Amino acid sequence: MAFCIASTCNIPSGAIFQHRQPLISEKPTSRIGVKKQLQCIANPELSTSTVNILDCVHDISDHKRKKGNLYATSLEFRLLRQHGYNVTEEVFESFRDKTGSFSACLCDDVKAILSFYESSFYGLEGESMMQEAWEFSSKHLKDLDNKDVDQNLVALVEHALELPFHWWAPRFETKWFIDLYDRREDKNHLLLELAKVDFNILQGIHQEDFNDTLRWWENTGLGELTFVRDSFIASYLWALAIAFQPQYCYCRKVVTKAIAVITVIDDIYDVYGTLPELELLTDAITR
């Protein structure tokens, strides 16, 4: 199974710069939620291979080869910065016009502008060009005429304007993207089926975690306190956003319990305890 550089770098070993063609095409495998499984199928040592390939992309990057290709440049910039590589914002200099502004003709390629917008969130403090990139791309994406654009791409644009890709909780993003990918005419049916199976299996693990932790919560009796917010589900969702992978079951349970107890303590201080009682409670917690 062949892979290309995707949004979270699901890349095969030995595939860099085949026939001098840039492997810069965003695939759905990372956003659709089956990256880990596909990595295992393609290469059990892919984590090392991924680092090696990113090293090659960083060290051998040929900007002339990508000249005029805003999508490729933006995607490569985002991937490398996402994984901690030092990439200068000057890679976008060629997309400016004589006035020093980004060329208006770039707006004709919605996919490229969307990639440019996502990459702008990896700007560092003091990088004025990345701030300009965000202002330029966000303005044109907001002014997009939806009637003349593929509706799946419109959905991606609206989703990105709500929150950039890497700010979404991974599991929530996966569910959203599976539904979107299912509507595409060019979808890979095998990949889609694998994604749905993977999502359901992992969701089953999460449900078991939640039920185990819910039993703990009910046994504490804290949920019976009438002044306490009923936010146990929200506590688990916080934990799920932090560590959704199946191997982090214990982490999710500990984080859920911690947030639930902290919420109870917060409500005691905010709405229930008197000042003398809270002073005693503070002393007890401090000890």
Tens-of-pLDDT digits for all 287 residues of the chain?
333 333 333 333 333 223 323 333 455 655 665 555 544 444 444 456 666 666 676 666 655 555 678 998 998 899 888 888 888 898 898 898 888 889 888 888 999 999 999 999 999 888 899 999 999 999 999 988 777 788 889 999 999 999 988 888 888 888 899 999 999 888 899 999 999 999 999 999 999 999 999 999 999 999 888 888 989 999 999 999 999 989 999 999 999 999 999 999 999 999 888 898 899 989 988 88
Regarding whether 241 and 139 lie in a shared domain, the answer is: no
Regarding whether 28 and 168 lie in a shared domain, the answer is: yes
The number of angstroms, rounded, from the C-alpha of 134 to the middle of its chain's C-alpha atoms is: 18
Close Cβ partners of 257 (under 8 Å, ≥ 6 residues apart): 213, 216, 217
Regarding whether 219 and 265 lie in a shared domain, the answer is: yes
| Boundaries of domain holding 249 | 203-286
What is the CATH number for 143? 1.50.10.130
Q: What residue has token string 């539904």? A: 179
Regarding whether 170 and 45 lie in a shared domain, the answer is: yes
228: alpha, beta or left, given left = phi > 0 and alpha = psi -120 to 50?
beta
Asked whether residue 76 is domain-assigned, the answer is: yes
Largest CA distance in the chain: 76
The number of angstroms, rounded, from the C-alpha of 67 to the middle of its chain's C-alpha atoms is: 27
Regarding whether 76 and 32 lie in a shared domain, the answer is: yes
CA–CA separation, 112 and 117 (whole Å): 9
Regarding whether 183 and 59 lie in a shared domain, the answer is: yes
Asked whether residue 156 is domain-assigned, the answer is: yes
The residue out of 126, 152, 187 marking a domain boundary is 187
Regarding whether 116 and 175 lie in a shared domain, the answer is: yes
